[in-house]
Amino acid sequence: MVAGVTAIGFLAARWRQANLANLEQWALGGRGFGTIVSWFLIGGDCYTAYTFIAVPALVYGVGALGFFAVPVSTLVYPIVFVVLARFYGVARRRGYVTMADFVRDRFGDRTLEIAIALTGVVALMPYVALQLVGMKAVFLQLGGAFETAGGLPALTVAFVLLAGYTYTSGLRGPAMIAFVKDTLIYVTVIAAVVIIPARLGGWQHVFASTARAFSARSHPASIVLTPQQCFTFATRALGSALALFLYPNLITGVLAASSRNVVRRNAALLPAYGLLLGLLALLGYCAVAAGIATTDTSSVMPRLFGRFFPGWFAGVGDAAVVVGALVPASIMCISAANLFASNVCCEFTPKRTPLETKIAKAFTLGMCIFGLLAIFFMPVAYAIDFQLLGGCLILQTLPAFVVGLWSRWFYARALLLGWACGVAASCAMAYVSHFSPDYTLTLFGTKLTGFIALYGLAINFGVAAAATLALRALRTKYGLDSTVAADYA
Q: pLDDT of 190-206, one tens digit each?
A: 899 999 999 999 999 99
pLDDT band of 319, cuts 50, 70, 90: confident
Q: Could you tell me which of 469, 457, 448 has the C-alpha nearest to residue 423?
A: 457
- The pLDDT score that the predictor gives to residue 147 is 64
Q: Flag whether pLDDT at 52 surpasses 70.
A: yes
Q: Are 233 and 317 in contact (CB under 8 A)?
A: no
State mean pLDDT over 428-456.
Answer: 88
Q: What is the pLDDT of residues 271-282, one digit of tens each?
A: 777 788 888 899
Q: Where exactly are the structural domains of the chain?
A: 2-385
The percentage of the chain sitting over the pLDDT mark of 70, rounded to a whole number, equals 91
In terms of pLDDT, which residue wins out, 463 or 273? 463
Mean per-residue pLDDT, 88-101: 93
Sign, CA torsion 368/297/48/235:
negative
The whole-model pTM stands at 0.89
Q: Where does the pLDDT of residue 383 fall: very low under 50, low under 70, confident under 90, or very high at 90 and above?
A: low
- Total length of the chain: 489
As a whole number of angstroms, the distance between CA 465 and CA 339 comes to 27
CA dihedral 77, 81, 83, 86 (to 10 degrees): 160
pLDDT of residue 429: 93
Comparing 8-12, 53-57, 460-464, the range with the smallest average pLDDT is 8-12
Distance CA 337, CA 181 (A): 23
pLDDT value of position 59: 93
User: Residue 254 is which amino acid?
Assistant: V
Instruction: Identify the weakest region by mean pLDDT among 69-78, 91-100, 278-287.
Output: 69-78
More confident residue, 204 or 361: 204
Q: What is the pLDDT of residue 484?
A: 92
Please determine, for residue 378, whether its predicted confidence score (pLDDT) is greater than 70. no
Residue 28's pLDDT band (cuts 50, 70, 90): confident
Look up residue 245 and give its amino acid.
Answer: F
Helix (H) or strand (E) holding 489: none
Tell me how far apart the alpha carbons of residues 23 and 29 are, in angstroms, rounded to a whole number. 9
Q: What is the distance between the alpha carbons of residues 450 and 392, in angstroms, rounded to a whole number?
A: 12
Q: Give the highest mean pLDDT range of 3-17, 46-60, 259-273.
A: 259-273
The CATH class for the domain spanning 2-385 reads mainly alpha
